[in-house]
Amino acid sequence: MKDKSRRWWSRRDFLRSAATATVVGAAGVSVFCRDGAQTQPAKPSAGTALPKRPVPDRARVILVRDADALDAGGKPRAEVVARMLDQGVAALMGESSAEAAWTKLVKPADTVGIKSNAWRFLSTTPEIEGALRKRVLGAGVAEDRVAVDDRGVLENPVFKRSTALINARPLRTHHWAGVGSCIKNYIMFSPDPPSWHDDACANLAGLWDLPAVRDKTRLNVLVMLTPLFHGKGPHHFDPRYTWQYRGLILGTDVVAVDATGLRILEAKRRDFFGEDQPFATSPKHIRVAEEKFRLGVADPARIDITRLGPMEGALI
Amino acid sequence: MCKRSIRIPLLLTVGGLAFLLVAGVLGALAAPPAGISVPSGDPPDPASLLPGQALGYVLQDKDGVYTADTLHELIDGGAEVYRSFHVRRVVSRRYGKPGSPDILADLFDMGSSRDAFGAYHHDIRDGKDATAGVESDMAGSSLSFWKDRYFVSLVALADTPDTRQAVLELGREIAARIRGTGERPEILRLLPRVGLQKERVSYFHDWTYLNTRHVIADENLLLLDEETEGVLARYRDEAGKPAQPGKGSRPSHLLLLVRYPTEERAKQALVKFLAGYLPGADRQGIARRKDGKWAASQATGDLVVVVLDAAEKPDIGKLVSEVQRARSR
């Protein structure tokens, strides 16, 4: 907390850097804030009323793992990840079958956008996207009212008239936000994504009050097949910092989903580095999502985890 | 016929030697003094700097081409870093080989070698030198380097001995295709050497970027803009400790040098900085801040010299003299 310098990038300095990001926030410094911030009517700022929705006492997430989720080359096996999704959704909705569960999530009259993530190094994966799309269609939604997109959501006609969103992306460390997870996945609904980077992206949960998004999300899927647990810069990816976790975290409470993924990533970093290894940038936006935006439950003590499949090496 | 066949090559040879002599003299006259950054001139098509194949890896998709305005489509968070270093154009190419993980190559045209240096040094550089470009960093199957006006990144989607070799091969081929070399930013030369932690030097242009390296204030107290350049360096104390600050400990001090287009601008910046950051500074521009750390600032010519986070009262006069001496060399 004493050191205000950021990203001097020695491994030892990482010990100090989570506190650093907090100081950045406390100092009120806008990090790479572009003028687009003023064009963000829904972006929280001084004078903007914050949502008064109640935060539930408890939240529930489903952690599904399958040893066969990846093939020998580390690529997802389509039929296995589809099965994992089915198991997770059924458990989440308290149904005995995925079909029945999906009819609770989306209705035939819905127009459904499946928000994925297209980062080249670690994407949502076509296998997950395909499995979600298939289930949405199976729930009776017409084919021309379902779309999968990431960077084109603001122009995509299905997303523009969507009544329901399915949010699916992989978990990874992130240069500005500490971690990139489901809350952050809606940044492409903003016409000026960099304007959300202020203060370690603390206010990302404000994205969820954008008109294109608000109250539409039916399901969050945090893809934990090969999460990325360490990064060295904005354009950095090293496959040695991924591992085959072979899991998915599902939930309707996006904050609880992200908070659970974060715990696993923290545990992996402890495991790998041999000691607590704070993120180069604090992923405080997850905590802020509950405390300031009241979007969901971030406190692990109030999150119930239903575990499905083998839990060896689950790190939680 | 025979005489003629001899004379023509002879004439060509004599003419060629004369041409080379004149060109050499003109070239020598036109050559910049040592240490001055060499402008790259008209850059080649960036895509031409990326080979079509290497070690069985061949081009997969159509290249992605990005500008400063569209770079966020390539980089999920962090395009601002490259924008702050004036990125011009980025070409992104995917290489593939049956049964092997793909390799992604991104070539950033930063417009100048100093900005290529800045972009390269933004990330943690704790890998090994790969002898590609001016400086390179190889870690697993990821390679980054800078050369001339280009910052280059190569990443294989999985790490195998095969991908390491292919990434290295591709990187060296790209480096060979970049004809210029480029210089490190000249302002780095002005940093005093004693105690300098070379791996902890950041080059920058703008205030928001500087604040990502060391939080100073929300307001642009040093009047940084497109025309300024600066360097922030970390120093150990003269006893040589601590080289690497441990948990909760601090470096001995930070030194910030900023160069302005005019001496007048430097003076204006000093006045603003002293008023905004060191309001209680003495006549030498030294003050102790609320956190107990010392800071100081003076201007010399078109430079502003700032000491931050010093554990003891800094000898700013000595530091300024050292900067002046380095400049006169």
CB contact under 8 A, B217 and A121: no
Residues 10-49 of B with CB under 8 A from A: none
pLDDT at B78 (0 to 100): 82
**For residue B141, pLDDT beyond 60:** yes
Put simply, the answer to whether B75 touches A23 (Cβ < 8 Å) is: no
Q: Do B63 and B93 touch, CB atoms closer than 8 A?
A: yes
Decide if B215 touches A, using CB distance below 8 A: yes
Percent pLDDT > 70 in chain B is: 83
Query: How many angstroms away from the CA of A180 is the closest CA of chain B?
Result: 9
Q: Closest approach of chain B CAs to the CA of A135, in angstroms? A: 28
CA–CA distance, A58 with A255 (Å, rounded to integer): 11
For chain A, what are the domain ranges? Answer: 44-308
Q: Tell me the pLDDT band of A19, cut-offs 50, 70 and 90.
A: very low
- Chain A hits for B157, CB-CB cut-off 8 Å, are 121, 239
Q: Return the higher-pLDDT residue of B241 and B229.
A: B229
User: Which range, of A123-137, B47-61, B233-247, B274-288, averages the lowest pLDDT?
Assistant: B233-247
Contacts of A10 in chain B (CB under 8 A): 124, 126, 199-200, 244
- The residue with tokens 């050191």 is A3
Residue A11: list chain B partners with CB under 8 A. Answer: 126
Are A7 and B208 within 8 A, CB to CB? Answer: no
Q: Mean per-residue pLDDT for A286-314? A: 97
| Residue whose token pair is 């004379």 | B7
Shortest CA gap B131–chain A (Å): 20
Asked if the model's pLDDT at residue A78 lies above 90, the reply is: yes
**Over pLDDT 90: what percentage of chain B?**
64
Give per-residue pLDDT as tens, B176-196: 999 999 999 999 999 998 889
At residue B144, φ and ψ (nearest 5 deg) are: -130, 145
Decide: B91 and B107 in contact? Cβ < 8 Å: yes
Among residues of chain A, what percentage have pLDDT more than 70?
Answer: 84
Average pLDDT value for chain B = 84
Instruction: Give CA separation, B15 vs B4, B5, B7, B19, B54, in Å.
Output: 16, 16, 12, 6, 41
In chain B, DSSP finds a helix count (H) and a strand count (E) of 7, 14
- What are the chain A neighbours of B159 within 8 Å (beta carbons)? 238-240
For chain A, what is the total number of helices (H) and then of strands (E)?
8, 8
The token pair at A232 is: 């060295």
Reported as a pLDDT band with limits 50, 70 and 90, residue B237 is low
Whole-number Å distance between alpha carbons of B325 and B329: 6
Largest CA distance in chain B: 93
Q: Is B122 on the interface with A (CB under 8 A)?
A: yes
Which is more confidently placed, A233 or B92?
B92
> Are the C-beta atoms of residues B92 and B174 closer than 8 Å to each other?
no
Q: Tell me what the mean pLDDT of segment A277-284 comes to.
A: 90
| B13: pLDDT strictly greater than 50 | no
What does the pLDDT average to over B48-71? 92
Please answer yes or no on whether B72 and A237 come within 8 Å at the CB atom: no
Q: Residue A31 pLDDT more than 60?
A: no
Over range B103-114, report the average pLDDT: 96
Helix (H) or strand (E) holding A303: strand A303-308
d(CA B310, CA B295): 6
Buried/exposed code over B102-126 (b: 16+ C-beta within 10 A; e: otherwise): bbbbbbbbbbbbbbbbbbbbbbbbe
Check pLDDT > 80 for residue B42.
Answer: no
Q: State the pLDDT at residue A57.
A: 95
User: Pick the residue with more confidence: B46 or A38?
Assistant: B46
CB contact under 8 A, A5 and B254: yes
In angstroms, the first-to-last Cα distance of chain A is 27
- pLDDT value, residue A233: 86
Facing residue for B123 by CB, picked from A10, A197, A236: A236
Q: Which residues of A140-168 are buried (b: 16+ CB within 10 A; e: fewer)?
A: ebeeebbbbbbeebeebebbeebbbbbbb
Query: Strand pairing partners for A167?
Result: A115, A220
Model ipTM? Answer: 0.76
pLDDT at A38 over 60: no
Q: Tell me, yes or no, if B128 comes closer than 8 A to chain A by beta carbon.
A: no
Domains in chain B, CATH or no CATH each: 46-177 (3.40.1000), 186-328 (3.40.1000)
Q: Which residues, including other chains, have CB under 8 Å from residue B161's CB and lie 6 or more apart?
A: none
DSSP state of B187: G
Quote the CA–CA distance of A241 and A278 in Å, as a whole number.
Answer: 15
What band does A191 get if pLDDT is binned at 50, 70 and 90? very high
Tokens 């990840």, located at residue: A81
What's the token pair of residue B41?
């001139």
Confidence band (pLDDT; 50, 70, 90) for B41?
low
Question: How far is it, in rounded angstroms, from Cα B280 to Cα B125?
Answer: 38
pTM: 0.80
**Nearest to B245, CA basis, from A265, A8, A215, A80:** A8
Q: What is the pLDDT of residue B241?
A: 53
> Which tokens is B86 given?
């004036």
- Are B248 and A17 contacting, i.e. CB atoms less than 8 angstroms apart? no
B143 touches A: beta carbon within 8 Å: no
| CA separation for the pair B299, B297 (Å, rounded) | 7
